[in-house]
Amino acid sequence: MQILNGKEAAQSIKDALKLEVAQLAANGKEVPHLVAILIGNNGASETYVGAKVKACEEVGFKSTLIRFEETVSAFKVLETIRDLNRDPDVDGILVQLPLPEHISADEVITCIDPAKDVDGFHPNTIGKLVLGQPSFIPATPYGIILMLEHYKIETKGRHAVVIGRSNIVGRPMSILLSGSGSYGNATVTICHSHTQNLKEICATADIVIAALGRPGFVTEDMVKEGAVIIDVGITRIADETRKSGYRISGDVDFPAVSQKASFITPVPGGVGPMTIAALMKNTFKACAVKHYE
């Protein structure tokens, strides 16, 4: 069994980007600029946005964090996005989800200029992804593809079972794996809360992508000997023995499942860092197209 070390793989991607950014700067070109919008005080969102801003610093991007109170109006958020859409200094815009109940995520995401949609959530972006046209790939599925690429794990002709059908992870992941692009050409089954015989289906998978947000859901009896296990779960569980007061749990029962897997991602340190590296790649791409226009 081999651990898929997301920290290491993400570092090599960020190191390569850092060189490319230095090259841009040396040629007097603008470096990428990512703007993150954070609404409210959700602890997990604070952590993720903090990690995104830190990664920008690491690779040499400009970054701006715009914070709003939980009570901010939808109008104000949309107005801010429209300003950012018009600002030629801004390459990428992301609005950290989830949003407060009074603000529609659909409306906010649709307001972002697709050319700056580095999260890959805009309907135009998803439409292109479905059609196999070049587009921004949502960061988590993109990070998983980059992980498979880094460890040269073949997907062609294999049976991939994606557990979870979220717009952010499961659905785009299933499209990429079943597409004809590199790291596609798999036979894909999507399982969700209404799937019957989930255990039996999962046990036939060569590749399992667990993205349902239920700690320890994938157990040893659901996994075929030699399967590749990708754990997207990041649930916070109260733990008084930790300084933070919580620990992070994945969707896979790691100690037991790792005994059967050929490759497996740890949580933390697996998919999480790859997601950030993928966002950095998208932001670089959003900026780079300007230099070739």
Burial of 172 (0-12, 13-18, 19+ CB in 10 A): buried
Our CB check for ligand GUN shows the closer of 139 and 227 to be 139
Min. distance of Cβ 45 from ligand GUN in angstroms?
7
Q: How many residues bind ligand GUN (CB under 6 A)?
A: 8
CA atoms within 13 A on the CB side of 51: 17
**Residue 182, helix vs strand vs coil:** coil
The DSSP bridge pattern shows strands 246-249 and 235-238 to be antiparallel
From 72, 118, 139, 161, residue interacting with ligand GUN (rule: CB under 6 A): 139
Residue pointed to by tokens 């993205």: 211
Cis-peptide, bond into residue 141, ω within 30° of zero: no
* Contact between 96 and ligand GUN per CB under 6 A: yes
Sequence letter at residue 228? V
Is residue 84 within 8 A of residue 117, CB to CB? The reply is: no
Sequence letter at residue 259? Q
Piece of 2-10, 12-20, 89-97, 248-256 that binds ligand GUN (CB under 6 A): 89-97
Catalytic residue, chosen from 14, 52, 116, 281, is 52
Using CB atoms, what's the residue nearest to ligand GUN? 97
Buried b (16+ CB within 10 A) or exposed e, 91-120: bbbbbbbebeeebeeeebbbbbbbbbbbbb
* Token reading at 216: 């320890």
Piece of 79-87, 91-99, 172-180, 182-190 that binds ligand GUN (CB under 6 A): 91-99
* Token reading at 109: 């995401």
Give the residue among 185, 139, 176 at the shortest CA–CA distance from 158.
Answer: 185
From 119, 206, 231, 251, residue interacting with ligand GUN (rule: CB under 6 A): 119
Give the residue among 87, 98, 31, 91 at the shortest CA–CA distance from 58.
Answer: 31
Our CB check for ligand GUN shows the closer of 46 and 220 to be 46
* Contact between 63 and ligand GUN per CB under 6 A: no
Helices vs strands, H then E, count in the chain: 10, 11
From 34, 35, 72, 94, residue interacting with ligand GUN (rule: CB under 6 A): 94
Min. distance of Cβ 97 from ligand GUN in angstroms?
4
Catalytic residue, chosen from 119, 206, 251, 253, is 119
From 3, 24, 78, 97, residue interacting with ligand GUN (rule: CB under 6 A): 97
Known catalytic residue: 23? Answer: no
Our CB check for ligand GUN shows the closer of 164 and 253 to be 164
Min. distance of Cβ 47 from ligand GUN in angstroms?
11
Is residue 265 within 8 A of residue 230, CB to CB? The reply is: yes
From 99, 112, 168, 257, residue interacting with ligand GUN (rule: CB under 6 A): 168
Known catalytic residue: 133? Answer: no
Min. distance of Cβ 119 from ligand GUN in angstroms?
5
Min. distance of Cβ 256 from ligand GUN in angstroms?
27
Give the residue among 218, 245, 240, 244 at the shortest CA–CA distance from 231.
Answer: 218
Our CB check for ligand GUN shows the closer of 137 and 261 to be 137
Known catalytic residue: 96? Answer: yes
Binding site for ligand GUN (CB under 6 A): 94-97, 119, 139-140, 168
Among all residues, which ones are annotated catalytic?
52, 96, 119
